[in-house]
Amino acid sequence: MDLEFNKREDENKRRWSDINSVLHKIYKGGGESRLQKQRDEGKLTARERIEFLLDKNRDSIEIGAFAGYEMYENEGGCPSGGVVVVMGYVSGQLCIVVANDASVKAGAWFPITGKKNLRAQEIAMENHIPIIYLVDSAGVYLPMQDEIFPDKENFGRIFRNNAKMSSMGIIQIAAVMGSCVAGGAYLPIMSDEAMIVDKTGSIFLAGSYLVKAAIGESIDNETLGGATTHSEISGVTDYKAKDDQDALTRIKNIMKSIGENPKAGFSRIDPAPPARSPEDIFGLMPSERSGQYDTRDIIKCLVDHSEFEEYKADYGKTIICATARVDGWSVGIVANQRTLVKNGKGEMQFGGVIYSDSADKATRFIANCNQRKIPLLFLQDVTGFMVGSKSEHGGIIKDGAKMVNAVSNSVVPKFTIITGNSYGAGNYAMCGKAYDPRLIVAWPWADLAVMGGAQAAKVLSQIQESTLKKQGKEITDETRKEIQDEISARYVKQTEATYAAARLWTDAIISPVDTRKWISMGIEASNHAPITERYNPGLIQV
């Protein structure tokens, strides 16, 4: 190891430490005092419920922990979107668990809460795995009701998905462990099995105060919609539990009874660790996003035995395509190469840029993986497609369109790791969020934007300068610097990994060391959903 490696390692580990510090604050939800209040009421917190439910000594991954981060400061914040979503094992069954966090505004639904719940349901639907709802929510956050209630991707879509999953045979289990009011009351009852916790759980379309205001009836909430009412009188729930632990144990028992479903049949052999430690990634990745490195070194830290079979190694060198295994699973890797390379004509090509020959190679490789039923793994560190007259005359738009077509129409599961830059159309071609990766995560130093911060700041400052000049204002060097610094600071903030994760453009920010776990669990989940379509690249033929 050299000095440069050690410097990179120190800087990148510091970045992961910063992310970890934020995560630990997020894990506190609405704060320790509110969490303790739940415990004093005889309830477990959202994260304690999930911990009790999941199998011990088995891997799990959290989806959307950063959801809502720094988004609702005027409303007092919404840590983790007010809901915790985890993929893990319950009685040996891989499933999605969704737990409302009542310490955050009584579990009320912010706009990002709805988006996160829909993401959880999407993962269950795509992969045909069970979903478990641990309900404890006051319903829609009324000050923002216009952003959560009426649109296609808002609150109501949750219940539509309940119905769709039921028709698909996807198991849904709900435990009402606190409030479950108004429209939200439909979620547990549209599940296959529903239970309610005595004394703390309640379900009603309108609470006692609203009932009094609407029809003049005086009634307490427990009589109106408590556990005894719904288990003995209305028949709304299937089981009454004495406490949180009793309800969660019943869910475990239900999960034990689930039978096997057909599998997709993705290839898996005995797993093996990489010969090169994943920890080395911290020292291999440059601390500056414009820095160079050999992506093959990164791949060696991720794949079993550090072995991979490269496709067309001497052609289209700014994208590496290779088959390998991750935790025993067969994968097809499409990765941006960050070093300066020579093409077949001896011309230098910039690292991280997609050229026509690279797009052509990736398109053919994606087709091959679909033909052979191999899941695709995209390692994104891309600044975009090559520009300029030579590239335009060479048909870069056509070749790029072929690659986008191949990614769009791929029928095998896709997984995306944003290892560095994710700019412009490069994000699309390398399977960004819009292209339905089963899971998409970022390393702590990832950047997501239309273009790099420096370029964007120059363009935006030039536009602003032009506007000021038209207004007759003089632009001094000092003024120019102030404009550029202000725009650069704002733009760079919007490119950070935390900004993207807060809006669920990515499912998580992870340590590179956890990458293999995310890929393996993702493929295992997708193996529950047999492929029913044939790959067809569309009108733009491969």
Q: Percentage of the chain with pLDDT > 90?
A: 72
For residue 379, what are the CA distances in angstroms to 13, 25, 77, 386? 20, 29, 33, 19
Contact 165, 123 (CB under 8 A): no
Is the model's pLDDT at 20 over the cut of 70?
A: yes
For residues 366 and 486, give the distance between their C-alpha atoms in angstroms, rounded to a whole number. 42
Phi-psi sector, 268: left (phi>0), alpha (psi -120 to 50), beta: beta
Helix (H) or strand (E) holding 332: strand 329-336
| Residue-level pLDDT at 453 | 63
Tens of pLDDT along 114-141? 999 999 999 999 999 999 999 999 888 8
For residues 1 and 23, give the distance between their C-alpha atoms in angstroms, rounded to a whole number. 31
| Residue-level pLDDT at 456 | 64
> For residue 451, what pLDDT band results from cuts at 50, 70 and 90?
low
- What value does the mean pLDDT of the chain take? 92
> For residue 264, what pLDDT band results from cuts at 50, 70 and 90?
very high
- DSSP bridge pairs for 430: none
| Residue-level pLDDT at 408 | 96
Choose between 97 and 463: higher pLDDT: 97
Is the model's pLDDT at 421 over the cut of 80?
A: yes
Average pLDDT over residues 284-304: 94
> For residue 309, what pLDDT band results from cuts at 50, 70 and 90?
very high
Is the model's pLDDT at 39 over the cut of 70?
A: yes
Query: What DSSP character marks residue 430?
Result: T
Tens of pLDDT along 312-363? 999 999 999 999 999 999 999 999 999 988 888 888 888 889 999 999 999 9
| Residue-level pLDDT at 537 | 81
Q: Encoding tokens for residue 187?
A: 């979620």
First to last CA, the chain: 43
| Residue-level pLDDT at 455 | 67
Contact 355, 319 (CB under 8 A): no
Nearest CA-CA partner of 525 in 169, 89, 174: 89
Choose between 208 and 511: higher pLDDT: 511
| Residue-level pLDDT at 153 | 84
- DSSP bridge pairs for 311: 321
Is the model's pLDDT at 481 over the cut of 80?
A: no
Average pLDDT over residues 491-511: 94
Contact 450, 423 (CB under 8 A): yes
Contact 173, 133 (CB under 8 A): yes
| Residue-level pLDDT at 540 | 59
Geometric angle at alpha carbon 306, from 300 and 311, rounded to 5°: 75
What per-residue string of b and e applies to 99-130 under the rule 16 or more CB within 10 Å gives b? bbbbbbbbbbbbbbbbbbbbbbbebbbbbbbb
Tens of pLDDT along 173-229? 999 999 998 767 888 889 999 999 999 999 988 778 788 888 988 888 888 889 999
- DSSP bridge pairs for 96: 87, 131
- Strand 329-336 vs strand 319-326: parallel, antiparallel, or unpaired? antiparallel
For residues 398 and 361, give the distance between their C-alpha atoms in angstroms, rounded to a whole number. 13
Sequence length of the chain is 542
DSSP reduced 3-state for 80: helix
> For residue 452, what pLDDT band results from cuts at 50, 70 and 90?
low
